[in-house]
Amino acid sequence: MNKRVKIFFLSCALAISIFITVYSVVIIGSYTETANSKMTLNVNMVNSIKPEEAKKNLKNDSNIILLDVRTKEEYIVSHIPGSILIPVDNIKVEVEAKIRDKEDIVYVYCRSGNRSQTAATELVKMGYANVYDLGGIQDWPYETESGER
């Protein structure tokens, strides 16, 4: 073969090698990003529980922790009997003192479900393994009580 043909084939081979390398990096990078995104989603997933199931479970298991994440004022007006109060803004600071065992079952509720979702997600990030978002007390069809506990 003459020199020009050899240079042409070497140039093509080099171009193909560069293309394969770049393509592999892009595909592997995308896969890793996707895998990490899925892993992050799984770590931050919070279980939900309906009031009916929560009521039944609370009746049968006195070890379940019922966590109200509203304000103290809201809690005094009305709360689910047996619940403890840790306002959502204080979760990071107060929860480990009140809920020491990260394997405990914790049902989290607020007024409408927004703060409970935020608090439950934070608890999962902190390593609590059995966290359930009960949603809002407005959807709780059972008895409530007022006053401080």
Structure tokens at 53: 């199931």
- Rounded CA-CA distance 116/112 in Å is 8
Catalytic residues: 110
- Rounded CA-CA distance 89/102 in Å is 19
Query: Phi and psi for 131 in degrees, rounded to 5?
Result: -105, 135
